[in-house]
Each structure stands twice: as structure tokens, then as C-alpha cells.
Chains A and B, each alone.
Chain A
Amino acid sequence: MIPRRTALGALLALALPLPLLAAEPAQRVIGVGGAVTETIYALGAGDRLVARDTTSTYPGTATELPDVGYMRRLSPEGVLSVAPDLIIAEEGAGPAETVQILEEAAIPFVTIPAARDGAGVAARIRAVGAALGLEDKANALASEVESKIVSVADASASTAETPVRVLFVLSAAGGRLMASGVGTEADAMIRLAGGINAIEGFPGYKQLTDEAVLAAQPDVILMMDRGPGGNHGSANVLEHPAIAITPAGQAKRLVAMDGLYLLGFGPRTADAVADLHAALYPEKG
């Protein structure tokens, strides 16, 4: 389904906005997906946004926009109600029924591909720029962000003599650990920051047994920072019986970062890689 939707988005991006973009760039845009909305702001087009989805929480001004719902459950009438003339959405936005109705209403729906590295982030920024008619600005930003990510990642990779083993914990609710395997954004970030993903046995996020936690021997636990009040999961995670006896638990090493900043693969990713690297290797100063 996803390739089909992407093809549809690409088709629309090619076919529909030609008159729109050539003559008059879209002025009422909906940003769907945290990184997409962030990129629109980074390109200085934030004033053209008329709505956003639930995952678009940065920058703070974005949260003042009307929220059209979770990106995979967009409501067709809700989207139409803000009278958009362009929707820029991260890959995976939907559902297909809503996309089809938007197509019938002749509203361009541009899908931005997923990214896991510097080149991917640059491609995303260029795609958002093309949709907004801001190609030059996007090219400049994309090159800047890409070279920054690449240089930060190279520096992280070259300076780490003994790579740190990192366990990304998505959730520790009820003492059950949902951890990241390979192929996730978290896995990509750990690698970019010069760490080693402590779990390589499965793709995606899965629940870990205590023995698997012990076998993984993580040096650091990485979690999403859910802000004040919502943080009890990460506060207690070091006391989790299995984690407590790992090197991470012994040394009390927990790194918590904002979810969108850490895993969004948007324009702030280079800073996020640098921050994560600094948190993983504090002795380097």
C-alpha cells in the first residue's frame, strides 16, 4: 500500500501542481509529520501553514495551528475544513481513503520519503522545497544540513575507540521493555552518533525478555523524553531488575532526548546526532 501511495503522491506532485506551482506557490499548506512541518518552518514558509497533524510539535508556534489528527488517521472533512491548497505529508500518512477523497477535491498531496541518513534528510528537504516552490532555499538548506550530518557522523565514528553499546527503550511501562532492533530511526541515530545498537536480533520494536537485556550488555539506555510529569517510565527504567545489573544500570547511564528531535530526521538532525554523541561519550568533553 505504501509504494502505491507514494507513487500516487509522486504522480500528483508531477501532474497537478504544475499550474499551481509555476504560477502561484501554494499559500494554504497542511504539514503532516513532525519533520515535514519542521522543514516548512526551517524554509521560512511557516506563515503559509494553515494546519498540522498531531505529530507536528516543533517549533512551538506549530502547536498553535489547528490539529487535523494523527497522520495515519487523517479525517477527510477535517483536512478539507481548513481549505488547504497543498498537503505535504511524510511517507505513511493516510489512510488511503482520505488521500483518494483529497484527490477528488483536486488538492495536491505530496508524499515526502522516509530518511535514515544525511542524504535522506537532504532529499526530504529538497522535496518539501519543491512542493512549496522554494527550490533554491531548499537546496541551500539541504546541502548545509547534509554536510553537517555527514561531518558530525564522521567525527563521531572516527573518535570512538571503544564504541558504546546503546539500548533504545521505546517504553518501559509496567516493567515491560519495548526496545529498538535494527532498521528503526533509533537504530540509525545510534549508528550516526558512533554507538552500537545493543540489540541486533530483530527488526523494529519488540518487547525484550530480561535475559535478552542481560545478553545485550548495554552501556547506555536511550529513551524519549516525554517531558515533565510524563517521565516516570524513564526515571524508573534504571531500577528495572534486568537493566539494573547491566553496565548501564551499574553506572546509572540514562540519556533521554525529545522524541521528534532524536528520531524525526528533519533539519535538526545534525544537532541531535552531535548531542547524542556528546551524551554517549561525555569523557571527550
Chain B
Amino acid sequence: MVTLSEAPTAGDRRGRARRATWALALLTLLAAWGSLATGASGISLLDALGRLISGEGLSLQEQVVLWQIRLPRLATGLLVGASLAVSGAVMQGLFRNPLADPGLVGVGAGAGLGAVLAIVLGGLLPAALAGWFGMHLVPIAAFLGGWAATLILYRVSTRAGRTSVATMLLAGIALGALAGAATGVLVYAADDQQLRDLTFWNLGSLAGASWAKLSIAAPIMAIAMLGTLGLARGLNGLALGEAAAAHMGIPVQRMKNLAILCVAAATGAAVAVSGGIGFIGIVVPHLLRLSTGPDHRHLLPNAALLGAALLVGADMIARSILAPAELPIGIVTALMGAPVFLWILLRRRGLLDL
């Protein structure tokens, strides 16, 4: 985060942040258009639109590609990217730690364990139950796992109505190790097909996007993100420390509760529909803080836009570079994000000294 000595310069950067919002909105629109227009099947969006308007109609395959594949995938990409980036920004503000990411509230580890449980032991469910869950068993288990982990962490770190972020950080590490060990046991019990499923789940992908999944996950992500907008002022205050924030009249405990709730919901839903996609939650907030300042009132919406644009862009690369096959998106985000991030750190080393 940012030291107080930077406060005077933050003034100039607020205008920049506002202009950045417009630029990012445009970027997101462009990425969305590009994502809808490109794909392995080479169906042209303009051509399809033209024919729709002229009433000529589309072939069944074109309809499926546009409505059942590209559009749900785009919507999932936008929401997941925005959720991960906003959650990352909130977590870094809440923990006042630049390395914080949504994983710190245990969502990642818990969701991973839930998914692994479903993949390895899903076959043991009674047939009727398995049939009812169908292909949604893994996402549901991941979401529940993420929530369970967050609840446990919250219980552990809350004493007499006060949540200690330091305890939460430490307990999160312990819980992560525990979930990792449980995952390891399950991995040992898995057969080789399940192992491959696990590996691919961990790398993340938007390939499984569908309207059915989105109809459950999208409201959760959207509401959680709207919830974080109310946090902006509080997070700004919190940068001065908890005591100072309380003296400023910020309801610190209520804010923490809301932040943890929103992050767990947004990240849990995001991880459930797309698997583990790393790096967006860390890179996006930092990029924005370095270029447009630490004011959360601009940082949070900008992070949502940049996260959405970045993930949709990464997905475009993931599915066109090897077409007709596709790459897990986690590989693309890390390959693109890590070097860029390192380069920024090297160039602006002074700014990030905490």
C-alpha cells in the first residue's frame, strides 16, 4: 500500500483515475467484442449480425457457437475476472498487505479441497444424488468448500466481536496447509483419469461456461461486487491503521464482516465456475495502484474493469493459440501477468517500498 508521504501526489492522480475508468471501460468493451468475434470455428460476428438483421437466420451450428459457447463464456470471463480483481483489491486493503489475495480468507484452499473431494469421491455418491447434481457437482462442492473454509477462519480469528486480521492471516496459512494435506491424501487415492481432471481443474478454464452455471454464479458475483463498492471509503480509512480508522468514525468491524463476506462469495463463485485462475487478484490492483493511485473509490471499479478485460483477453489467447485445441487459462494469465508485473516492479521499485 502507500505511505502517507504520497498523499499530496494522490491529488493529481484522482483525475487520472477517473480518465482511466473511461479508458478501461472502452478496453473491456473492445475485449468483449473481440472475444465474441474470434473463435476456432471462424464464424464472423459481423456477418452473423448482418444476417440476423436481414432476417436470413443462422444455421444451428452458428447459433450454438454464438449463444451456447461464446456468449456464456464471455459473460463468465467478465464476471470472474472482475470478481477476482476486486476481491484482490479488497483483501490488500483490508490486510494492508500487498501480497494479500483472495486466497487469504481460505477460499482458494477450501474450494480446491471441495473440488478434489467431488472429483475423487463423487463416484461414491448414490446414483440418484449423482444424477441430480450431474456435471455441477464439482462447482457446487468447490463453492461450499470455499465458504466452509472462510467460516472456519472467521470463527477462529474473531474474539468478542473483533476480528483480528493478523490471526486470520496466520490461521489462513495453517488452514491452507491442512487443506493441502487433505488434498494430498485424496490425490493419492485418485486414479489416473481423476488425476488429470484435478490437474486441469487447478489450471482453470472458462471452457465449461454455460448459461445454467452462470444463472447461479452470476448473481452471487454481481451482488458481492456491488457490496464491495460500499467498502471504498472504509478501506481508505483503514490504510491509516485500524485505530485511526475507528477514530474517523468508520465502523471497522462491520466493514471487515462485509469485506470477508463479499470476497468469499465473489471468489467462491468465480473459482467454482472456472477453477483456479491465479494472478489476476494480485496483478490488477497493483497495476492500478501504481498508475492511478490508492484511492479505493476509483481502485475498486477500475479493478473490476481491468480484471474483466484481462481475463477475457487471456481467454481469447487461450482458445485461439492452439485452435482447435485450447490451453488452460491459468497458464496464460501467469505467463502474461508475471513478467509484466516483474518489469513494473523493477522500473518503479521505489514506489512499492512499504
Among the stretches B34-42, B103-111, B253-261, the one at the interface with A is: B34-42
Q: How large is the interface on B (under 10, 10 to 19, 20 to 34, 35 or more residues)?
A: 35 or more
- Is the CB–CB distance between B130 and A69 below 8 Å? no
Contacts of B134 in A (CB 8 A): 1, 4, 96
**A75 close to B325 (CB less than 8 A):** yes
Interface majority SS (helix, strand, loop, mixed), chain A: mixed
The winner among B69, B205, B208 for most chain A CB atoms within 10 A is B69
Selected contact of A205 from candidates B61, B130, B192, CB within 8 Å: B192
Complex interface: chain B residues within 8 A of A75 (CB): 40, 207, 319, 324-326
- Chain B CB within 8 A of A80 CB: yes
Interface string of A184-224 (1 = CB under 8 A from B): 00000000000000000001111000000000000000000
B64 pairs with A104, CB closer than 8 A:
yes
Let me know if A163 is at the binding interface, CB within 8 A.
no
B60 touches A72 (CB 8 A): no
B155 adjacent to chain A (CB < 8 Å)? no
**Segment with Cβ contacts to A, from B80-88, B193-201, B263-271, B283-291:** B193-201
The answer to whether B64 touches A80, judged by C-beta atoms less than 8 angstroms apart, is yes
B210 within 8 A of A: yes
B22 within 8 Å of A (CB atoms): no
Nearest A residue to B210, CB-CB: A97
Q: Is A73 an interface residue (CB 8 A)?
A: yes
Is B324 a contact of A79 with CB atoms below 8 Å? yes
Closest to A73 in B: B200
Q: Find the residue from B64, B137, B210, B324 having the highest chain A CB count within 10 A.
A: B324
Q: Which of B170-200 contact A (CB under 8 A)?
A: 188, 191-193, 196-197, 200
**Beta-carbon nearest neighbor of A170 in chain B:** B192
B216-250 contact mask (Cβ, 8 Å, vs A): 1 or 0 = 00000000000000000000000000000000000
A98 CA to B325 CA, complexed, in Å: 13
Total contacts A-B at CB 8 Å: 104
Cβ < 8 Å to B, chain A residues 62-108: 66-70, 72-73, 75-83, 92, 95-98, 100-101, 104-106
Min CB–CB distance B216 → chain A (angstroms): 14
Interface string of B102-143 (1 = CB under 8 A from A): 000000000000000000001100000011001101000000
Docked-complex contact A78 and B319, CB < 8 angstroms: yes
Smallest CB separation, A74 vs chain B (Å): 8
**Nearest CB in chain A: distance from B76 CB, A:** 11
Closest chain A residue to B61, Cβ basis = A105
- Within 8 Å of chain B (Cβ to Cβ): is A54? yes
Question: Taking CB as reference atom, which chain A residue is nearest B319?
Answer: A75
Answer yes or no: A127 CB below 8 A from chain B CBs. Answer: no
Are the CB atoms of A81 and B210 closer together than 8 Å? no
* Cα-based distance from A78 to B41 in the complex (angstroms): 7
Residue A97 contacts which of B60, B207, B326 (CB distance < 8 angstroms)?
A: B207
The answer to the question of A237 belonging to the interface, with a C-beta cut-off of 8 Å to chain B, is no
Given known contacts A1-B130, A77-B65, A95 and B135 CB-to-CB distance under 8 angstroms: yes
* Given A4-B131, A98-B207, A51 contacting B200 (CB threshold 8 A): no
Closest B residue by C-beta to A105: B64
Interface residue? B342 (CB, 8 A)? no
Q: Which of B39, B188, B319, B324 is in CB contact (< 8 Å) with A51?
A: B324
Partner of A80, one of B41, B191, B207, B208: B41
Tell me, in angstroms, the Cα distance from A67 to B135 when the chains sit together: 25
Q: Is the CB of A101 within 8 A of B193?
A: no
Asked if B207 and A100 sit within 8 Å, CB to CB, the answer is no
In the bound complex, residues from chain B placing their C-beta under 8 Å from that of A79 are 324
Interface set of B (CB-CB < 8 Å, partner A): 39-42, 60-61, 64-65, 68-70, 122-123, 130-131, 134-135, 137, 188, 191-193, 196-197, 200, 205, 207-210, 319, 322-326
A-B contact pairs, 29 of them (CB 8 A): A1-B123, A1-B130, A1-B135, A69-B322, A69-B326, A70-B196, A70-B325, A72-B197, A73-B200, A73-B326, A75-B207, A75-B325, A76-B207, A77-B39, A77-B41, A77-B69, A78-B325, A80-B41, A80-B69, A81-B323, A95-B135, A97-B208, A97-B210, A98-B208, A101-B64, A101-B69, A105-B64, A170-B192, A203-B191
